[in-house]
Amino acid sequence: MKDPFQIAVLISGSGSNMLQLIENAWHYTVKLVISNNPEAGGLVLAQQAGIETKALSRADYPSLAEFKSAIFESTLEAGADLVCLAGFMMLVPEQYTKIFTGQMINIHPSLLPKFPGLDTHKRVIEGGEREHGCTVHFVDAGVDTGPIIAQAKLKVRPDSQADDLSREVLALEHKLYPWVVNSIARGWIRPTNGQVQIEPQAKLDAAAKGFIIPR
Ligand code: GRF
């Protein structure tokens, strides 16, 4: 492990999770922010924070496959210890999920394995769920299926609307994601043979902060 631990963040949009990762970088540094959308608002936020950014545009590549390769080759070139997907709206090609096994994580706005994919808040309400939340997981070849690291939960009120849940879950994401990345950077959380190994300090700290480590 290099010192300091370095992360690369991949974004597509507003970058509010990315900003939290930048502002709460206690045990790591943010080496690079990459976007598949040159218009992503998060790029400006990263630049304002003095972080190097790289934006790639679909229009510059003859095929989607080549565009994706360019994004993940740029990510590899960054040489970061960990890649954090933060509102990154592109499926990672299987070959890159293999290359980044144990070194790529994602935050998803549901209590996985419930509600993988899009429109989670609306589906939670339609499904009559009593609780909802967010999950940070290692990325594998499936959609939102990789080993779960930690979750944060909230209660769904009878009158909750999708917009309320979106706002409330995003606020939880902003706390959970930096905690997980700091915990990985300090060696509290490690991937081992497709499982997640959690040190006792991490379990205690997670419990104190109200985070859930499903085991
Ligand atoms: C978050 O809800 C994240 O979980 C999901 O997309 C949203 C991105 O928000 N994948 P932001 O770009 O971090 O503001």
Model confidence pLDDT, tens digit, residues 21-42: 999 999 999 999 999 999 999 9
Q: Counting atoms of ligand 1 from 1, which one is nearest the CA of 18?
A: 13
108: annotated active-site residue: yes
User: Whose CA is closest to atom 6 on ligand 1?
Assistant: 87
| pLDDT digits 0-9 by tens, 42-72 | 999 999 999 999 999 999 999 999 999 999 9
Q: What is the dihedral of CA 183, 191, 149, 107, to 10 degrees?
A: 90
Please state the length of the chain: 215
User: pTM for this one?
Assistant: 0.96
- Of 108, 121, 132, 174, the active-site residue reads 108
CA distances from 15 to 32, 128, 211 (A): 13, 30, 22
* Best probe residue, ligand 1, of 21, 173, 181 (max atoms within 8 Å of C-beta): 173
What secondary structure letter does DSSP report for 1?
-
Radius of gyration, CA atoms only, the chain: 17
Q: Can you list the alpha helix ranges (DSSP code H) found in 101-159?
A: 120-126
Q: Counting atoms of ligand 1 from 1, which one is nearest the CA of 17?
A: 13
| pLDDT digits 0-9 by tens, 165-210 | 999 999 999 999 999 999 999 999 999 888 899 999 999 999 999 9
Closest CA to 75 of 51, 90, 49, 54: 54
